Amino acid sequence: MHTHELHPRLARSMVRAALYVVLLGGVAACTRSVPSAQEAAIRSIVDEGFVANEPLCIAAGPFPLDSAAVRGTCDKCQALYEQGFLARTISGDDSFGSVSYDLTDLGRRVYRTKADAALLALVRRRLKVNGRPGETPDMDALAKPRMCFGQTRFHAVVDSLAPVTMGAYRVFSVKVVNEARDTSGLLFDPRTRALGLPLPEVPKPGKPALYPPGVMSFDINPDGSLDTDDMRYGRWVNEP
């Protein structure tokens, strides 16, 4: 049976397995620069992930929140209380008591419920791609109570490997540096760092707050668009 007769997913897996064997056998992939259009596509993919997942936000609320609602909805409430973002009230006695949390003035600075502009723009783009350009995003479905201390965004591609080709498939890897942006004035406050958010080192004045480089791989589709891939090869074959 020829590869083109296989199910596309199976064919892709077979090609990838063969490619791993070749690259692990010592065939080197050379460093190259990334074309500006390709870097723009990488920026879009990375930023869309950050907009959707908000890594510098903590799910919490809505407030006031009692002990029955805390379980499963506010894993960080105790930590937020300890750092001054929430107030805690304990009522009852040893046999039957309850705990409730509410926002402090500090907590109100970072508390959000509505979807931000970047998420709304992303939803509208996806609706358009799916053939529903006139549809209005469901604001209630997009709303979520959370504490947002900053935003993570793509900063730059700092290194790359030449694409590898096997049959109809082309894959390339890059090292991406991302940036943490302080949207609250509290991102690098010691109280925020104590919450365990994924924060880079505090930047020097006037400099961006950059994360260490990380490897990302992408499939190059026939139309030039990109899809993320978990493949590693060449000198980054053992990178996470």
Residue-range domain boundaries for the chain: 1-54+151-240, 57-148
Reading the block at residue 175, the tokens are: 């090292």
Looking from the CA of 230 toward its CB, the CA atoms found within 13 Å total 3
Q: Is the pLDDT of residue 24 over 80?
A: no
Residue 216's DSSP bridge partners are 174
The pLDDT-based confidence of 25 (bands split at 50, 70, 90) is: very low
Could you tell me what percent of the chain has a pLDDT over 70?
81
Q: Would the pLDDT of 29 be above 60? A: no
| pLDDT at residue 179 in the model | 98
Residue 104 above 50 pLDDT? yes
The kind and range of the H/E element at 179 are: strand 169-182
Contact between 90 and 98 (Cβ < 8 Å)? yes
- Contact, 141 vs 167, CB < 8 A? no
**What per-residue confidence (pLDDT) applies to 58?**
96
Mean pLDDT of the 54-75 span: 83
Cβ-Cβ contacts under 8 Å for 38 (sequence gap 6 or more): 226
Per-residue confidence band for 97, with pLDDT thresholds at 50, 70 and 90? low
pLDDT band at 91 (very low <50, low <70, confident <90, very high): confident
Would you state the pLDDT for residue 70?
65
Q: Average pLDDT in the 88-113 region?
A: 87
Peptide bond into 35 cis (omega under 30): no
- Residue 57 CA to residue 54 CA, distance in Å, equals 6
Q: How do residues 120-136 score in pLDDT, each as one tens digit?
A: 999 999 999 898 988 88
Q: Evaluate the CA torsion angle 76, 78, 83, 88 in order and state its sign.
A: positive
Cβ pair 74, 101 in contact under 8 A? yes
> What's the mean pLDDT when you consider all of the chain?
86
pLDDT > 50? residue 27: no
Greater confidence, 102 or 98? 102
Q: Which H or E run includes 112?
A: strand 111-112
Q: Are 114 and 145 in contact (CB under 8 A)?
A: no
> Can you give the pLDDT at residue 18?
46
Biggest CA-to-CA distance, the chain: 74
Mean local confidence (pLDDT), 213-237 = 94
Q: Rounding to the nearest 10 degrees, give the CA dihedral for residues 212, 217, 221, 224.
A: 30
